[in-house]
Chains A and B, each alone.
Chain A
């Protein structure tokens, strides 16, 4: 290979070329990750009382919407993370979870307004908001670890954006699972605690994921 400007580098790169297994399509990887989330949810569901949960969801449509919004945010954010991890895909995929996020936040806010107007249906324990934060952060950790491990097989050219989406997906999944065992009605402190936990998870995964990708 004479006289090519990058002949030495090309020779080095092609020298030990091995066949590679093509990366699965983003939607397939999303399904795998959602399967892991369902597995975690199934374990935690062993401690849930689905009777009262169904009764609360039926009695408060905003809770049902917030539950659905969090789940939708998790799925769409995961898909967006996998999409943006592949070169050549538009960065506009990052906007995919926004509708789910809008439903989640607006339904959560509506629930708080309902609680203020009607009064608490069940008094909240003093340390409950902190327990919500701990739950979301702790459940998000393995879910975001799995998601980032899947993403590292790709080549995310915007590591901060992709890692942020991964954090949002994990936090949304954790908040959805939390709703199964959340014994109290939604209050402003609940909403703020959930938002804080989501923010912590997003920033932590963004920071750690960006460093991991750049290694």
Chain B
């Protein structure tokens, strides 16, 4: 960049220090490619140059009171860009030295979605229960279906089946005993 360019940027910075918003925007737009070129020259990888440029623009904003318009602008800007590039490179070095890749951690980490195995287990249990209920004598099966599965009241179930409430209670009790024997203990009811 020529002396004319440095002089123009110095004038923009002086105007920015006075609070001129347009001059400040023009200055920052002109400063971004200088910061990017400095970062690349310092060895920053292309995918991280944007990070350095943003850090530089933030630092320019914070440090604008330190610029002396009697001195050239570009050395001031390049000093900031060099230090921010060095900071990024040091940060990358520290991260690489402390962190290691563990591919197995990704495989063993539980996901946020519901476990597919749990769904299959519930389906198997429901099928076993249905099969066991189907093997019950008719009276017991009817009592289980009306009172346990459909959660009807004793009075409603008695009205549907024509059996007494006592008979329905006894059938339900025997059905639960039979299902426990078959499903939990593994024997025949």
| Cβ contact within 8 Å between B28 and A157 | no
Residues in B with CB closer than 8 Å to A6 are 28-29, 32, 53-54, 57
Residues in B with CB closer than 8 Å to A17 are 16, 19-21, 24
**A13 interface residue (CB < 8 Å to B):** yes
**B129 interface residue (CB < 8 Å to A):** no
Residues in A with CB closer than 8 Å to B21 are 14, 17
Type the 1/0 row for A1-42, where 1 means its CB is closer than 8 Å to any CB of B. Answer: 100111001110110011111110100000000000000000
**B64 interface residue (CB < 8 Å to A):** yes
| Cβ contact within 8 Å between B64 and A20 | yes
| Cβ contact within 8 Å between B65 and A13 | no
Nearest-CB distance from A46 to chain B (Å)? 38
Q: Count the B residues whose beta carbon is within 8 Å of the partner chain — how many? A: 32
**A88 interface residue (CB < 8 Å to B):** yes
Residues in B with CB closer than 8 Å to A22 are 17, 65-68
**A154 interface residue (CB < 8 Å to B):** yes
Nearest-CB distance from A85 to chain B (Å)? 8
Residues in B with CB closer than 8 Å to A23 are 65-66
| Cβ contact within 8 Å between A21 and B28 | no
**B179 interface residue (CB < 8 Å to A):** no
Given contacts A87-B66, A157-B80, contact A13 B58 (CB under 8 A): yes
| Cβ contact within 8 Å between A9 and B76 | no
Q: Count the A residues whose beta carbon is within 8 Å of the partner chain — how many? A: 27
Q: Count the A-B residue pairs with Cβ separation under 8 angstroms: how many?
A: 78
| Cβ contact within 8 Å between A87 and B28 | no
| Cβ contact within 8 Å between A9 and B25 | no
**B71 interface residue (CB < 8 Å to A):** yes
Find the residue from B18, B50, B59, B61 having the highest chain A CB count within 10 A: B61
**A158 interface residue (CB < 8 Å to B):** yes
Type the 1/0 row for A55-91, where 1 means its CB is closer than 8 Å to any CB of B. Answer: 0000000000000000000000000000001111100
| Cβ contact within 8 Å between B57 and A87 | no
Assembled-state Cα–Cα distance A18/B50 (Å): 26
Taking Cβ atoms with an 8 Å cutoff, the residues of B that contact A are 16-21, 24-25, 28-29, 32, 50, 53-54, 57-59, 61-68, 71, 75-76, 78-80, 83
Query: Can you show 30 pairs from A to B with CB atoms below 8 A apart?
Result: A1-B29, A4-B29, A4-B32, A6-B32, A6-B54, A6-B57, A10-B25, A10-B29, A10-B57, A13-B57, A13-B61, A14-B24, A14-B25, A18-B19, A20-B17, A22-B66, A22-B67, A22-B68, A85-B66, A86-B66, A87-B63, A87-B66, A87-B67, A87-B76, A87-B79, A87-B83, A154-B63, A155-B63, A155-B66, A157-B80
**Supplied contacts A87-B76, A155-B62, 5 more A-B pairs, CB within 8 Å:** A5-B32, A14-B24, A25-B68, A88-B79, A89-B79
